[in-house]
Amino acid sequence: MTQGIFISYRRDTGSTMARMIYDRLRLEKNYKCFLDVEKLNVGNFHENIVSELDKCRIFVLILSKNALDRCVNPDDVVRKEILVAIEKGLEVIPVTSEDFKWPETMPEGLEGLNDFNAIPYIQVYSDRFFERLYSFIENVFAKDRAKESAIRSAEFAAKRAEFTNNAKDKLKTIGKNSASTISDFSKATSKAAKNFVVESVQEKKVNPLPIAVGVAVIAVLALIIVLLGSRWKIIIPIAIVALGLVIYLWRKKNPPKTEVSGEDPAGVNEAPDGTDQN
C-alpha cells in the first residue's frame, strides 16, 4: 500500500510553511514525504511529477497568499501538480495560510478544489493545526488498510470456497467410483463362488455346506460394505482368504473319494511271473 505524501506549494510565498510541514511529518510521524526543491526541474517535468505522485497517497496543497492566481496559465507548475493528483485519485488536503483568500473565480479545471476540506493554519494555534493534519492523514491510511484487509478476506474466502467445492466434488466422484467398484466386485465374487459350489457339488468333490456358509458370509459382508462405505472394503479380501482356508482345511480332512471299477488299474492281482492270480 502506497503511503507517501506529496507536498505542493508556491515557492515565492509558501516555501517556509511547506518546509515546516515537511519536517514535522517526517520527524514526528516518520511519514514518507516528497517536497520538490530542485529535482522536478531536471528532465521531463510531467514525467517527473507522475513518477513522484505514483509513490504517494496524499496530496498536501499549501495555499499561501495568491497561490492560485497563476493557475490560469496551463503551464503553471502548481496547476499541473494539482491536476495530476486529482486525476490519479490522491486524497487532497488543502492547507490555507492566514493571508490566503479563495479567488472569486476559480481557474479552469480547478473549480472543485474549494470543495475539499481545507485545514487553516494559524501560527498561534500551530499545535492544534498539526493535530488535525495528523488526524486527516491517519484516517486516510486507516481506510486504505481496512479496504485492503476486506479485499484480502474476500479473496481468501473465495479461494477457500472454491477449494471446498472442488474437494466435495472429488470426494463424491471417489465415493461413487468406490461404491460401483465394490458392488461390481461383490457381484463377481458371489457369482464365481456360486459357480464353484455348483461345479464342486456336481463332481462330488467337496461338501457344499462350508462353501455355502462362506458365500453367505461374503454376501452379507459385501452388503455391509456397500451400506457403510468404501473404508470397509478391506473386509472383502480378508473374507475371501478366510473362505479359502476353510475350504482347504475341509478338503484336507475329507479328501475326495476315487471310484474303483471292476478292472485292476494298478495290476495289483498280477503274479510275479505275469500270470493272473485269479
What are the tens digits of pLDDT across the range 155-185?
A: 888 888 888 777 777 767 766 666 566 566 6
Global confidence as pTM: 0.57
What are the tens digits of pLDDT across the range 148-161?
A: 888 888 888 888 88
Q: How far is CA 224 from the centre of its chain?
A: 39
Cα-based angle 43, 18, 53 (whole degrees, multiple of 5): 45
Of the residues 38, 81, 148, 162, only one is catalytic, namely: 81
The domain 4-121 belongs to what CATH superfamily?
Toll/interleukin-1 receptor homology (TIR) domain (3.40.50.10140)
Task: Give burial (CB, 10 Å; 0-12/13-18/19+) of 169.
Answer: exposed
- For the chain, domain boundaries: 4-121, 158-253
107: DSSP letter: P
What are the tens digits of pLDDT across the range 207-231?
A: 566 666 666 776 776 666 666 655 5
148 is an active site residue: no
- Cβ atoms 64, 9 nearer than 8 A: yes
- Cβ atoms 175, 226 nearer than 8 A: no
Q: What is the full per-residue pLDDT of the chain (278 aa) written as tens digits?
A: 578 999 999 999 999 999 999 999 999 999 999 998 755 555 566 788 888 899 999 999 999 999 999 999 998 989 999 999 999 999 999 999 999 999 989 998 898 898 899 999 998 899 999 999 999 999 999 998 898 888 888 888 888 888 877 777 776 776 666 656 656 666 666 666 666 656 665 655 555 666 666 667 767 766 666 666 555 556 666 666 677 777 767 666 666 555 545 555 555 455 555 555 54
- Cβ atoms 106, 114 nearer than 8 A: yes
User: What is the per-residue pLDDT for 164?
Assistant: 79
Q: Which helix (H) or strand (E) holds 251?
A: helix 235-253
101, three cell numbers: 483568500
Q: Where are the alpha helices (DSSP H) in 54-207?
A: 77-87, 126-203
80, three cell numbers: 499541473
Q: In what order do the strands lie in the sheet with 91-96?
A: 33-35, 4-8, 56-63, 91-96, 119-120
